[in-house]
């Protein structure tokens, strides 16, 4: 009598919980509660149900096994479960997993409980009975998942600035949501032109629909947060969803400027490209770069305010620029810059940094003249070749030495090399070599001037010139030698005539 | 060296003239010709001796490079002129030598 009364009482207690399901079968078994622990979101998704099944019989069931079958557009994933015994009044929890092919469909779950023995203990006696099978049927409706999503943009806010923050609530499910209430509670944020907490009522949000709430917020701390609480009716049940979006107040764009090339040669107008890269996560709108050349510096820019426009994340903008670099400039020149831009949320950001330009002042030698004295080279006559070298670079040339390489028949008198040493900018020097041609002909003479700049880089200046050697002309000082012969012959004739006159006068033999 | 060469040539010819004059005195006295003919004979001997001395000195001098064609042509003109002048001077020398022996030193 007592057991029957207890069974009636338990039945009365659990009956209101089974609002959508109906059980049938042996009265010793009953379903205490049904709860969807995972609701399928779409057709073909998997859902899970927690079933609390009680046993209110008189005997202990031994060797119990249970399985769940389903009728309707779904199938049970998993097999049979077993447990050694089931005491009277004990509640077992089943969590069958269902693969559901239709949202909103009605299902009938059948829990088949099978046991091998029944054991009853009464007044010190144990009574063992035969096993049996019972089936408990439950009717279920597949509820589906509302699937509301919350998207807050941007997550990175500009500090000390009013940011436009957009909160988008979208119904990504397959059924409408009614009486949606959106509560926005800022944490570390000051909302402009809006009450706190901000409540927005949406009567109906259809599947695929989106409700957008836009606020103006100034971050008060480094890591503010926005708490979004959603309350809505779904299939006549009040559902709640609470999302806390953590935000960050800091540089949103992180624009980095650099100069290409970073090395410039002193003495002239040079062209460079200022490259600005967005290494942040949000686009930089209407970016402007302002250059501040060093006041005591020597380099001059043709433009100091550069309009960059919009720079997307991981994007880059290149602006050509002309730099006037004096010949006296040396070393690294640091140019400060400030880049200002607006974030998509309306925040105004200023970032600063500096460009570094390395100014190189290399030495550069040029051979400005090659003098050959005498200009007409004669065979076996020494001629002097003078190379005039000028340092047209911006810094001192060091370790200057010149070498001459001539063909075999053009002898280099003394030495074929000459060490000069140092040469200051705009300074000329003359390097002389002596040559002696051994034969007539045209000789190609190669020269090489090697020097080092202050950075230790070796340079070589090579060239060639041509020497034409001719034989020397012999100058005979006698004028008109033929006339001299004639005069000599006349003298001889006169002498012979005089001798003939004497012979004729005095005779040949003595008398 | 270039300046000393003509002076040496004059000295050599003067010495040769004196020596030759002394050696030819006996020969000159034995010849049965008038003094102009004997003067021409002495001149011939003088020319022969001069040519001999020239050849000997040329052979004994260190080897000089052979001049080129145009130089040799110019030098040839000078050589011919030198021969003619030398012959004239030799005749004058012979006649003067013979005259002095005939009328002054006899």
Dihedral of the alpha carbons of A340, A343, A344, A345, in degrees to the nearest 10: -130
Euclidean distance between CA atoms B106 and B103, whole angstroms = 6
Bridge-based pairing of strands A365-373 and A248-249 is: unpaired
Question: CB–CB of A50/A98 below 8 Å?
Answer: no
Average pLDDT on B45-56 reads: 83
CATH architecture of A365-470: Sandwich (2.60)
pLDDT of the residue at A18: 38
Put simply, the answer to whether B34 touches A508 (Cβ < 8 Å) is yes
A148-249 topology per CATH: Immunoglobulin-like (2.60.40)
Question: CB–CB of A215/A228 below 8 Å?
Answer: no
Put simply, the answer to whether B81 touches A487 (Cβ < 8 Å) is yes
How far away is chain A from the Cα of B87, in angstroms, using its nearest Cα? 7
Residues of B whose CB is below 8 A from A482: 77
Put simply, the answer to whether A488 touches B81 (Cβ < 8 Å) is yes
Which pLDDT band, with edges at 50, 70 and 90, does A3 fall under? low
What beta strand segments (E) does A78-197 contain?
Answer: 81-86, 91-94, 97-100, 106-122, 125-141, 148-153, 156-157, 163-171, 177-187, 189-192
User: CATH assignment of A257-360?
Assistant: 2.60.40.10
Nearest residue, CB atoms, B37 vs list A478, A495, A508:
A508
Average pLDDT on A71-97 reads: 90
Which pLDDT band, with edges at 50, 70 and 90, does B61 fall under? low
Predicted TM-score (pTM) of this structure: 0.44
pLDDT of the residue at A320: 93
Kind plus residue range of the DSSP H or E element containing B14: helix B4-30
Put simply, the answer to whether A492 touches B87 (Cβ < 8 Å) is yes
Question: CB–CB of A321/A300 below 8 Å?
Answer: no
Nearest residue, CB atoms, B34 vs list A476, A492, A507:
A507
pLDDT of the residue at A338: 93
Nearest residue, CB atoms, B77 vs list A484, A495, A509:
A484
A2-141 topology per CATH: Immunoglobulin-like (2.60.40)
Residues of A whose CB is below 8 A from B87: 492, 495
Structure confidence by residue, pLDDT tens digits, A251-308:
666 788 999 898 888 888 999 999 999 988 778 889 999 999 887 777 888 889 999 9
Put simply, the answer to whether A481 touches B68 (Cβ < 8 Å) is no
Structure confidence by residue, pLDDT tens digits, A156-198:
888 888 888 899 999 987 778 889 999 999 999 998 888 878 8
Region of A277 on the Ramachandran plot (φ > 0 left; ψ -120 to 50 alpha; else beta):
beta
How far away is chain B from the Cα of A372, in angstroms, using its nearest Cα? 28
**Cis (ω within 30 of 0) for the bond into A407?**
no
Structure confidence by residue, pLDDT tens digits, A115-154:
999 888 877 788 888 888 999 999 988 887 778 899 998 8
B95 lies within 8 A of chain A by CB: yes
pLDDT of the residue at A478: 47
Average predicted confidence (pLDDT) for chain A = 85
**Cis (ω within 30 of 0) for the bond into A164?**
no
Q: Above pLDDT 70, what percent of chain A? A: 92
Domain boundaries, chain A: 2-141, 148-249, 257-360, 365-470, 478-511
Q: Do domains A2-141 and A365-470 have the same CATH topology?
A: yes
pLDDT of the residue at A408: 87
A482 lies within 8 A of chain B by CB: yes
């Amino acid at each position: 009598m007592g057991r029957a009364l207890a069974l009636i009482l338990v039945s009365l207690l659990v009956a209101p919980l089974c609002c959508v399901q109906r059980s049938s079968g042996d009265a010793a078994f009953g379903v205490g509660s049904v709860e969807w622990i995972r609701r399928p979101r779409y057709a073909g998704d998997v859902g899970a149900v927690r079933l609390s099944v009680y046993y209110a019989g008189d005997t202990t069931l031994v060797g119990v096994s249970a399985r769940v079958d389903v009728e309707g557009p779904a199938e049970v994933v998993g097999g049979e479960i077993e447990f050694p015994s089931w005491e009277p009044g004990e509640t077992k929890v089943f969590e069958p997993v269902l693969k559901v092919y239709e949202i909103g469909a009605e299902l009938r779950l059948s829990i088949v409980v099978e046991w091998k023995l029944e054991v009853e203990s009464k007044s010190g006696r144990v009574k063992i009975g035969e096993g049996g099978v019972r089936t408990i049927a439950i009717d279920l409706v597949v509820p589906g998942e509302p699937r509301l999503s919350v998207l807050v943009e941007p997550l990175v806010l500009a500090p000390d600035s009013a940011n436009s923050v957009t909160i988008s609530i979208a119904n990504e499910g397959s059924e409408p949501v009614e009486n949606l209430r959106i509560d926005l509670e800022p944490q570390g944020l000051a909302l402009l032109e809006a009450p706190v907490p901000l409540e927005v009522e949406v009567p109906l949000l259809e599947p695929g629909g989106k409700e957008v709430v836009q606020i103006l917020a100034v971050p008060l701390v480094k890591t503010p947060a926005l708490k979004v609480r959603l309350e809505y009716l779904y299939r006549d049940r009040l559902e709640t969803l609470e999302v806390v979006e953590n935000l960050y107040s800091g540089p949103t764009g992180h624009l980095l400027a650099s100069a290409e090339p970073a090395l410039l040669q002193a003495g002239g107008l040079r062209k460079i490209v200022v490259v600005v890269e967005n290494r942040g996560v949000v686009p930089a709108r209407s970016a402007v770069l302002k250059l501040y050349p060093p006041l005591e510096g020597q380099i001059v820019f043709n433009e100091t305010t550069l309009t960059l426009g919009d720079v997307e994340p991981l994007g880059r903008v290149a602006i050509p620029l002309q730099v006037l670099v004096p010949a006296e400039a040396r070393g690294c020149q640091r140019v400060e810059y400030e880049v200002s831009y607006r974030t998509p949320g309306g925040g105004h950001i200023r970032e600063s940094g500096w460009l570094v330009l390395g100014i190189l002042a290399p030495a550069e030698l040029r051979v400005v003249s090659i003098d050959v004295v005498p200009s007409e080279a004669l065979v076996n006559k020494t001629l002097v070749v003078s190379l005039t070298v000028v340092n047209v670079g911006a810094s001192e040339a060091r370790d200057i030495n010149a070498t001459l390489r001539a063909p075999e028949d053009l002898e280099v008198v003394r030495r074929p090399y000459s060490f000069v040493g140092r040469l200051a900018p705009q300074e000329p020097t003359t390097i002389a070599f002596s040559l002696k041609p051994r034969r007539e002909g045209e000789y190609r003479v190669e020269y090489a001037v090697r020097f080092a700049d202050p950075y230790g880089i070796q340079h070589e200046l090579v060239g060639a010139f041509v020497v034409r050697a001719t034989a020397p002309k012999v100058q005979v000082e006698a004028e008109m030698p033929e006339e001299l012969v004639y005069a000599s012959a006349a003298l001889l004739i006169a002498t012979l005539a005089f001798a003939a006159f004497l012979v004729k006068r005095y005779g040949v033999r003595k008398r | 060296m270039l300046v000393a060469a003509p002076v040496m040539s004059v000295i050599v010819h003067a010495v040769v003239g004196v020596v030759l004059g002394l050696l030819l005195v006996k020969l000159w006295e034995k010849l049965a010709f008038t003094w102009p003919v004997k003067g021409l004979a002495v001149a011939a001997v003088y020319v022969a001796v001069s040519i001999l001395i020239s050849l000997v000195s040329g052979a004994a001098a260190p080897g000089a490079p052979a001049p080129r064609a145009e130089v040799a042509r110019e030098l040839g003109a000078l050589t011919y002129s030198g021969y003619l002048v030398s012959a004239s001077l030799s005749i004058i020398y012979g006649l003067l030598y013979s005259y002095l022996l005939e009328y002054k030193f006899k």
